[in-house]
Amino acid sequence: QEQLKESGGGSVQAGGSLRLSCAGSGFRYPDNCMGWFRQVPGGEREGVAARDSDGTTYYADFAKGRFTISKDNAPNIWYLQMNSLKPEDTAVYYCAAEFCVWGLGDAWSSHEFRYRGKGTQVTVSS
């Protein structure tokens, strides 16, 4: 059974950094399309960044230049490095993944992944 688990969330001051990790288990292939999303209570899901299994990456405008999505050499472990954090980055961040053949494309932020984790809280104070 495919599962995803996030870690690395926490509380930081504005300008600080955090690195989130997403560990997948039970997946048939060592790499998959995956994405990082965030959500605040009562708010809509927001795409942060995504990565195809061929290494193509996608970023939301607010994430460009501050966040970096990457993959570990180990199977199905991904990261989101977040620098220069702002209070408006406060949210629950979760990862999602699935096997894909063609890649996510420009619609990555609205893609409904088959599997997702429960999320990790990120709180940025001013």
Provide the pLDDT for residue 104: 94
From 51, 54, 34, 15, select the one nearest 94 (Cα to Cα): 34
Confidence of residue 32 (pLDDT cuts 50, 70, 90): very high
Provide the token pair at 82.
């977040």
Per-residue pLDDT tens for 60-113?
A: 999 999 999 999 999 999 999 999 999 999 999 999 999 998 899 999 999 999
Confidence of residue 121 (pLDDT cuts 50, 70, 90): very high
C-alpha dist (Å) from residue 25 to 7, 56, 68, 73, 96: 14, 22, 22, 15, 12
C-beta separation of 49 from 116 below 8 A: no
Provide the pLDDT for residue 101: 87
